[in-house]
C-alpha cells in the first residue's frame, strides 16, 4: 500500500498561468487541494486574440507568485510535493517553454519525478476531481478558444484517441470572431451567451458545418458559420436595417451547440460508450450544456461537465492528469524534454 | 559561499557553480553549449552536471545569479524562470544582473569598452563601460547607429560589427555573472531586460453595426 502522494501541476500553454495541487490516494482517487490561476486575458483584449509574446511575458512574471498562492491555499510547502506535472504541449511554443523550464527547476530542486503531460488529456482528467473516477471507456468533447475535439478515452493515463477535430477554427475562436462582427467584447463567449438569452435561436437559419451525408462524421467546421454571420450582418446593414444582436447571437449559438452536441452523441452511440465528458472554456456556455443534457438524456448517455472554473485552463487539471499518470506507474519524463507546441493527443506523457 | 550562475540571453546556454572565498570568485564547474534553439532543453541538465562535477547538490548553493538580458525573449525567459523557481524551491535569493555587465566584468580592458550581443533583426543589444561601470545602455540599435567614439575595445558576440579591437569574452561567463552581482545587497526584482515591445498588431477598427440603421 502506498501512502497518499501530493502532485503539483503547472500549466502555461496559452494565456493562463496555473498551479494546482492534488492528493492522490492509495486507491487511485484524486482530490483537489489548490488551484491558483493568473490570467493575462485583459492584456490581450484590445488585440482581439491572444498575443503569444504578451502571454509568455505574463507567464514569467506570474510563475513564482502563482506557485506561492497555490501553496498557501493548500497549506502545504514545496517539500510536501511528491511529483510534478507540467503541460508539455500542445500550445504556444514560447508560453509552454516558461512552464516547462520552471517545472524542471522545481522538480530538480525538490528531487521529485517530473511528468510532461498533454494539455488536452488534462482537460479530461480534471473531471475526476469533481465526479470521481472515469469509466473504462468514455467520450470527451473539448471546446474552447484553442480546442474543438472529440476524444475516445480508454483509461485516462493509458489511451486517448482523437475521434474528430475542427478542420478550421476552434469553437471558441468562432465566438471571438462573431463577437467582433457584433462589436461585443473579447473573449466572445460570455457576451454572446448573455445576448443569446434575450434572442430567438430560430430567428436566422445559420448553416450547420460538416453535417452533410458525405461529410466527415465527427469533424467540425466553424469557419463557414462565422462567414455566414458576417454576410448576414452585412446584408442587413446594406438594407439599412437595425441588427438584432440578441437574435444573431441566439441563432449563432444554436448552430454551434446543435452541431457539437449532435456529433458528440452520434460518436458516443457509434463507439458504444455511455459517458460523455464536456470540458474546455466553452463547456460553460449555457445553451451548449442545456442541449447536451437534453440530448444525452434522450440517448441514455451520462453527461459529466466539470464546474466552469475547472473547465478553463488551470494547473489543477495538469496535476490531476499527472496524478493518474503517476498512479499508472509511468516512467518520468527526461530533464531535456522539449516543450512541444504540436504534441499529439495520443501522447499522454512525454517519454 | 557557493553561487549558481545561469545565463540564457545569448546563443550560449550557460550554467556554472562559483565559490566565493578569500581568494575571490573561483569557478568550480561550468557547462556552456552554443545552441540558440535549445535553452529549454539544455539548461537544467547542464546545471545538474555542474553540481555533480563540483560535488554539490542544488540546495548547497547560497545564492543564484542570473543574466536578465537583454536577449532574445524566448531563450532569455528560460534562464530567468529557472532561477526564479530554483530560488523559490531552495529558499535562496536570486540576483538578476545585466548580461552585458557580466561580459564587461570579464573583459581585460583599460579605457572604455563597448559590449554588444546579437539582438537579431540586424540589431545589437549594447552598453558602454568605463572600467566595470556601465556608462550607457543597455540599448537595442543597428550597429551602424551605435556611438563608438571613446571606446578602445569591443566585447560580446557582435564585437566584430564595430571598427574596434575585439576582446574576449563573447558570452557571459559564470565568473562574470557573479562578479557583476552585488550579493550582499537586497536582490532586485526579477525583471527581464526586453528593450522591445511585443510584436502585436491592433485589429483594424470595424464600423459599429449596432448603431447602423438605428432609429
Ligand atoms: Zn485548454
A12 C-alpha vs ligand 1 centroid, how far in Å? 10
Measured between CA atoms, how close is B33 to chain A, in angstroms?
Answer: 14
Contact B213 A240 (CB under 8 A): yes
Measured between CA atoms, how close is A4 to chain B, in angstroms?
Answer: 22
Measured between CA atoms, how close is A280 to chain B, in angstroms?
Answer: 26
Left (φ > 0), alpha (ψ -120 to 50) or beta: where does A69 sit?
A: alpha
What does the pLDDT look like over A295-332, one tens digit per residue? 999 999 999 999 999 999 999 999 999 999 999 999 99
Asked if residue B105 and residue B86 are part of one domain, the reply reads no
Torsion of Cα atoms, A111 then A117 then A121 then A125, to 10°:
0
- Is residue B209 a part of any domain in this protein? no
Contact B45 A243 (CB under 8 A): no
Give the confidence band of B212 by pLDDT, cuts at 50, 70, 90.
very low
- Sorted by sequence, the CB contacts under 8 Å of residue A155 that are 6+ apart come out as A136, A328
Measured between CA atoms, how close is B100 to chain A, in angstroms?
Answer: 21
Name the residue with cell 458525405: A214
Residue A207: how many other CB atoms lie within 10 Å? 14
Asked if residue B78 and residue B125 are part of one domain, the reply reads no
Asked if residue B109 and residue B85 are part of one domain, the reply reads no
> Residue B90's domain is classified under what CATH number?
3.30.420.40
> Residue B124's domain is classified under what CATH number?
3.30.420
Pick from A332, A349, A326: nearest CA to A25: A326
Mean pLDDT for B48-57 is 98
- Is residue B34 a part of any domain in this protein? yes
What does the pLDDT look like over B185-196, one tens digit per residue? 999 999 999 999
Average pLDDT over all residues of chain A = 96
- Is residue B211 a part of any domain in this protein? no
Asked if residue B126 and residue B79 are part of one domain, the reply reads no
Report the C-alpha gap between B104 and B151 in whole angstroms. Answer: 13
Asked if residue B33 and residue B6 are part of one domain, the reply reads yes
Torsion of Cα atoms, A170 then A173 then A179 then A181, to 10°:
-90
Asked if residue B176 and residue B85 are part of one domain, the reply reads yes
If you measure CA to CA, which chain B residue comes closest to A339? Answer: B40
Q: What is the pLDDT of residue A46?
A: 87
Asked if residue B58 and residue B10 are part of one domain, the reply reads yes
Of A47, A64, A100, the CB nearest to B200: A47
Contact B82 A54 (CB under 8 A): no
Chain B residues with beta carbon closer than 8 angstroms to that of A94: 73-74, 77
Question: Which residue in A102, A182, A187, A332 has the most chain B C-beta atoms within 10 A of its own C-beta, making it the best mutation to test that interface?
Answer: A102
- Is residue B187 a part of any domain in this protein? no
Report the C-alpha gap between A212 and A259 in whole angstroms. Answer: 11
What does the pLDDT look like over B131-166, one tens digit per residue? 889 999 999 999 999 999 999 999 999 999 999 999
Give the confidence band of B205 by pLDDT, cuts at 50, 70, 90.
low
- Is residue B196 a part of any domain in this protein? no
Pick from B19, B8, B36: nearest CA to B102: B8
Report the C-alpha gap between B52 and B59 in whole angstroms. Answer: 12
Above 70 in pLDDT, residue A24? yes
A9 C-alpha vs ligand 1 centroid, how far in Å? 14
CA distance from start to end of chain B = 76
What does the pLDDT look like over B30-44, one tens digit per residue? 999 999 999 999 999
Report the C-alpha gap between B54 and B28 in whole angstroms. Answer: 6
Report the C-alpha gap between B180 and B106 in whole angstroms. Answer: 9
Interface of A with B in 277-306 (CB under 8 A): none
C-alpha distances in angstroms, B151 versus A17, B156, B180, B189? Answer: 44, 14, 20, 31
Above 80 in pLDDT, residue B201? no
Question: Which residue in B76, B85, B197 has the most chain A C-beta atoms within 10 A of its own C-beta, making it the best mutation to test that interface?
Answer: B85
Report how many domains make up chain B.
2
Asked if residue B131 and residue B51 are part of one domain, the reply reads no
Above 60 in pLDDT, residue A80? yes
Pick from A199, A225, A198, A220: nearest CA to A210: A220
**Phi, psi for residue A38 in degrees, rounded to 5:** -115, 130
Look up residue A241 and give its DSSP letter: P
**Phi, psi for residue A269 in degrees, rounded to 5:** -65, -50
Give the confidence band of B116 by pLDDT, cuts at 50, 70, 90.
very high
Above 80 in pLDDT, residue B3? yes
Interface of A with B in 156-215 (CB under 8 A): 180-183
Of A101, A237, A339, the CB nearest to B212: A237
Contact A106 B89 (CB under 8 A): yes
Measured between CA atoms, how close is B192 to chain A, in angstroms?
Answer: 9
Q: Does A238 touch chain B (CB under 8 A)?
A: no
Answer for the pair B2, B56: CB distance below 8 angstroms, yes or no.
yes
Asked if residue B78 and residue B9 are part of one domain, the reply reads yes
SS3 B149: coil
Average pLDDT over all residues of chain B = 93
Q: What is the pLDDT of residue A145?
A: 87
SS3 B124: strand
Residues with CB under 5 A from ligand 1 (ion): A 313
Contact A100 B40 (CB under 8 A): yes
What does the pLDDT look like over A189-240, one tens digit per residue? 999 999 999 999 999 999 999 998 889 999 999 999 999 999 999 999 999 9
CA atoms within 13 A on the CB side of A148: 24
A55 C-alpha vs ligand 1 centroid, how far in Å? 14
Asked if residue B152 and residue B61 are part of one domain, the reply reads no
Q: What is the pLDDT of residue B215?
A: 28
- Name the strand (E) or helix (H) holding A265: helix A245-270
Q: What is the DSSP string of A284-339?
A: G-HHHHHHHHHHHHHHT-EEE---HHHHSS-HHHHHHHHHHHHHTTPPPPPTTPPP
Q: What is the pLDDT of residue B214?
A: 32
A256 C-alpha vs ligand 1 centroid, how far in Å? 18
Of B40, B190, B214, the CB nearest to A242: B214
- Sorted by sequence, the CB contacts under 8 Å of residue A252 that are 6+ apart come out as A178, A192, A196, A206, A225, A229
Q: What is the pLDDT of residue A131?
A: 97
- Is residue B153 a part of any domain in this protein? yes
Q: Does A337 touch chain B (CB under 8 A)?
A: yes
C-alpha distances in angstroms, A275 versus A162, A280, A286, A296, A312? Answer: 16, 17, 20, 9, 21
Angle CA A303–A304–A305, to nearest 5? 120
Provide the residue range defining the domain that includes B38: 2-98+172-180
Give the confidence band of B23 by pLDDT, cuts at 50, 70, 90.
confident
Asked if residue B85 and residue B9 are part of one domain, the reply reads yes
- Is residue B118 a part of any domain in this protein? yes
Q: What is the pLDDT of residue B210?
A: 54
If you measure CA to CA, which chain A residue comes closest to B92? Answer: A109
Q: What is the pLDDT of residue A311?
A: 95
Q: What is the pLDDT of residue B213?
A: 30
Between β-strands A148-153 and B94-97, what pairing exists: parallel, antiparallel or unpaired?
unpaired
A75 C-alpha vs ligand 1 centroid, how far in Å? 27
Contact B89 A236 (CB under 8 A): no
What does the pLDDT look like over A127-169, one tens digit per residue? 999 999 999 999 999 999 888 999 999 999 999 999 999 999 9
Contact B213 A78 (CB under 8 A): no
Answer for the pair B140, B196: CB distance below 8 angstroms, yes or no.
yes
Asked if residue B130 and residue B66 are part of one domain, the reply reads no
- SS3 labels along B165-204: CECCCCCCCHHHHHHHCCCCCCCCCCCCCCCCCCCCCCCC
Report the C-alpha gap between A329 and A115 in whole angstroms. Answer: 11
Mean pLDDT for A261-269 is 97
Mean pLDDT for A254-277 is 97
Q: What is the pLDDT of residue B211?
A: 41
Chain A residues with beta carbon closer than 8 angstroms to that of B85: 63-64, 67, 101-103, 105-106, 109
Contact B78 A97 (CB under 8 A): yes
Chain A residues with beta carbon closer than 8 angstroms to that of B214: 242
Give the confidence band of A48 by pLDDT, cuts at 50, 70, 90.
confident
Give the confidence band of B28 by pLDDT, cuts at 50, 70, 90.
very high
Q: Which residues of B touch A (CB under 8 A)?
A: 38-45, 47-48, 58-59, 73-74, 77-78, 80-90, 190, 192, 194, 198-203, 206, 208-210, 212-215
A296 C-alpha vs ligand 1 centroid, how far in Å? 23
- Is residue B6 a part of any domain in this protein? yes
Amino acid at each position: 500500500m502506498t501512502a497518499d502522494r501530493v502532485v503539483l501541476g503547472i500549466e502555461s500553454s496559452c494565456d493562463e498561468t496555473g498551479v494546482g495541487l492534488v492528493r492522490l490516494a492509495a486507491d487511485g482517487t484524486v482530490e483537489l487541494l489548490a488551484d491558483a490561476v493568473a490570467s493575462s486575458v485583459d492584456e490581450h483584449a484590445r488585440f482581439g486574440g491572444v498575443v503569444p509574446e504578451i502571454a509568455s511575458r505574463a507567464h514569467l512574471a506570474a510563475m513564482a507568485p502563482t506557485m506561492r498562492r497555490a501553496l498557501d491555499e493548500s497549506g502545504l510547502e514545496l517539500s510536501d510535493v511528491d511529483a510534478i506535472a507540467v503541460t508539455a504541449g500542445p500550445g504556444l511554443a514560447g508560453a509552454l517553454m516558461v512552464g516547462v523550464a520552471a517545472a524542471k527547476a522545481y522538480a530538480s530542486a525538490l528531487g521529485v519525478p517530473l511528468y510532461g503531460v498533454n494539455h488536452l488529456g488534462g482537460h479530461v482528467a480534471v473531471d475526476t476531481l469533481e465526479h470521481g473516477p472515469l469509466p473504462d471507456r468514455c467520450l470527451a468533447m473539448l471546446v474552447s478558444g484553442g480546442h474543438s475535439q472529440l476524444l475516445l478515452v480508454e483509461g485516462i493515463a493509458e489511451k486517448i484517441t482523437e475521434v474528430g477535430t475542427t478542420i478550421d477554427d476552434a469553437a471558441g475562436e468562432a465566438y471571438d470572431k462573431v463577437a467582433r462582427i457584433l462589436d461585443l467584447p473579447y473573449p466572445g463567449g460570455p457576451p454572446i451567451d448573455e445576448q443569446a438569452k434575450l434572442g430567438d435561436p430560430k430567428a436566422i437559419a445559420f448553416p450547420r458545418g460538416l453535417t452533410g451525408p458525405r461529410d466527415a462524421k465527427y469533424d467540425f467546421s466553424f469557419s463557414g458559420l462565422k462567414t455566414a454571420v458576417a454576410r448576414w450582418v452585412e446584408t442587413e446593414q446594406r438594407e439599412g436595417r437595425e441588427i438584432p444582436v440578441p437574435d444573431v447571437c441566439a441563432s449563432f449559438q444554436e448552430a454551434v451547440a446543435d452541431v457539437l452536441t449532435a456529433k458528440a452523441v452520434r460518436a458516443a452511440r457509434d463507439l458504444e460508450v455511455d459517458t460523455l465528458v464536456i470540458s474546455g472554456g466553452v463547456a460553460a456556455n449555457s445553451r451548449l450544456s442545456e442541449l447536451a443534457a437534453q440530448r444525452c438524456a434522450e440517448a441514455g448517455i451520462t453527461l459529466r461537465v466539470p464546474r466552469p472554473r475547472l473547465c478553463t485552463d488551470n494547473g489543477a487539471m495538469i496535476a490531476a492528469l499527472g496524478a493518474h499518470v503517476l498512479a499508472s506507474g509511468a516512467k518520468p519524463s527526461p530533464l531535456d524534454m522539449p516543450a512541444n507546441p504540436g504534441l499529439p493527443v495520443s501522447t499522454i506523457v512525454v517519454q | 559561499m557557493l553561487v549558481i550562475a545561469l545565463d540564457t540571453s545569448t546563443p550560449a546556454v550557460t550554467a556554472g557553480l562559483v565559490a566565493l572565498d578569500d581568494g575571490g570568485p573561483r569557478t568550480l564547474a561550468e557547462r556552456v553549449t552554443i545552441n540558440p534553439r535549445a535553452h529549454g532543453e539544455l539548461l537544467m541538465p547542464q546545471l545538474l552536471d555542474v553540481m555533480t562535477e563540483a560535488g554539490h547538490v542544488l540546495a548547497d548553493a547560497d545564492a543564484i545569479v542570473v543574466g536578465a538580458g537583454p536577449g532574445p525573449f524566448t531563450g532569455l525567459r528560460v534562464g530567468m524562470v529557472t532561477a526564479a523557481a530554483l530560488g523559490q524551491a531552495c529558499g535562496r535569493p536570486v540576483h538578476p544582473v545585466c548580461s552585458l555587465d557580466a561580459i564587461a566584468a570579464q573583459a581585460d580592458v583599460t579605457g572604455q569598452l563597448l559590449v554588444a550581443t546579437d539582438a537579431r533583426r540586424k540589431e545589437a543589444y549594447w552598453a558602454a563601460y568605463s572600467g566595470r561601470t556601465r556608462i550607457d545602455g543597455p540599448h537595442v540599435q543597428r550597429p551602424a547607429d551605435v556611438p563608438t567614439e571613446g571606446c578602445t575595445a569591443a566585447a560580446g558576440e557582435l564585437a566584430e560589427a564595430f571598427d574596434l579591437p575585439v576582446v574576449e569574452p563573447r558570452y557571459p561567463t559564470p565568473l562574470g555573472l557573479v562578479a557583476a552581482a552585488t550579493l550582499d545587497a537586497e536582490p532586485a526584482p526579477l525583471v527581464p531586460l526586453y528593450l522591445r515591445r511585443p510584436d502585436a498588431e491592433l485589429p483594424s477598427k470595424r464600423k459599429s453595426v449596432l448603431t447602423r440603421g438605428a432609429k
